[in-house]
Structure 1
C-alpha cells in the first residue's frame, strides 16, 4: 500500500479472496526483484522502477483476481509494459514541456526567464501539495504520466466524470496560484516594486 492509498480506498468487492490473495502475494514477492531489475534497466532509475512496481502491485490488488496459467510470466510482461508506458509518458511530458518553453533561436533562455519559470513552478507545486491526495494523484497521473481520463477512472474505480471534476479542481487551483501573485511575476531579483 502506498502513501496515496488508504484501506478505505481499496474496494472490498475488488479485493482478492483470501486464498487468491496469498497466491498472488507469494508470486508477486517471488518476482518483485526480477520485475524491478527489468523496469530499472528500461527506465534507468531504481527508485522509479520501485515506484512503478508498487503501482503495478496496486493495480492487480484493486481488481478482481483471475486465474492465470503462468502468473510469474504475466507479472514480468506487465512490468515490462508498465516501463514502456512510463517512457512514453515521459516522452510526451518532455514534448509538452518543450512546447511550453519560450521559443529560442539557439541561445539559452535568459536568467530572468529561468528564475520566473522556477518561481511559477514552486507556486504550482505548493498549490498541488494543498490539494486532497486523490485530486493530486489524478492530476499527476494525467499531466505527468500521460494517462487519459478513462484510464485513470478504470485504475481508480471512479467514473470518468469524477476524474474530470478532480482535474478541473486541480487546474483551477494551479491557475489561481499563478494569478495570485501578479506583482512577483513581473519583478526581477533586486528590483522590488514597493
Structure 2
C-alpha cells in the first residue's frame, strides 16, 4: 500500500505532465513555424519540435512561470543548435574533401595533422580549471556573450574576459608546442 505523500506526489506529477502536454500542444504550431523560419525546412522543424517534446517529457518537470514562453525560447535555441551542428558538419566535410575547385589540395597528412591539433586542443581544455573551461565552452560552443556569462556565473565581465584569454592562450600553446620546423601552417610534408 502506498503512503499518502506518494499519492500526492504522483497526482502532482500527473497534473504537471498534463499541463505540460496542454501548453506544448497549444504552442506546437508556433514552435514549428519559428524553427522552420530559422532552418528553412518544415519537415526538419517538425522533427526538432518533436525531439524537444521528448527531451522535456523524459526529465523532471521544469518549474517555470511562463511555460509557453520557455518552450518557444527552447525551440529557438534548438534551431540555433541545429544550425551550428550542421555548419560544423559541413565545415568538417569540406575540410576533409578539400576545395572542389582544386582537386587533391587536401592531403591525408594534413587531415591527420588537423585531427592531432584538435586532440591537443581538447587536452589543453581538459587541463584548464573548471571555471575557465566552463566559460570557454559557454562562449565558443553555446554562443553566450561575455555579459551573459558574467551574469549567469556572478562574475565581472572583466573576469570572464581574463578566463577567456587564459583558455585561448592554452589552445594556441597546445598547437604551437606541436609545430616543428618541418611543419609550417599551410604547408604539407612531401
TM-score (norm 1): 0.54
Consecutive unaligned residues in structure 1, runs of 5 or more: 1-22, 188-194
Alpha-carbon deviation of 1:80? Answer: 1.3
Consecutive unaligned residues in structure 2, runs of 5 or more: 1-11, 32-44, 185-190
The 3-state SS of whatever aligns with 1:83 is helix
Partner residue of 1:83 out of 75, 78, 81:
78
Higher RCO, 1 vs 2 (CA within 8 Å, ≥6 residues apart)? 1
| Alpha-carbon distance in structure 2 between the residues aligned to 1:126 and 1:155 | 26
Query: For residues 143 and 97 of structure 1, do their structure 2 counterparts lie closer, same or farther at Cα, with a shift above 3 Å needed?
Result: farther
Q: Which has the larger radius of gyration?
A: 2
Note if contact 1:93-1:146 (Cα within 8 Å) is conserved in structure 2: no
Q: CA RMSD in A?
A: 4.6
Matched, 1:160 2:157: yes
Note if contact 1:116-1:185 (Cα within 8 Å) is conserved in structure 2: no
The 3-state SS of whatever aligns with 1:75 is helix
Alpha-carbon deviation of 1:86? Answer: 2.4
TM-score (norm 2): 0.55
- The count of corresponding residues between Structure 1 and Structure 2 is 146
| Per-residue deviation, residues 75-134 of structure 1 (Å, max 9, x unmatched) | 322321221332354467678879999973353521011000001000000000111122
Alpha-carbon deviation of 1:146? Answer: 2.3
| Alpha-carbon distance in structure 2 between the residues aligned to 1:129 and 1:30 | 41
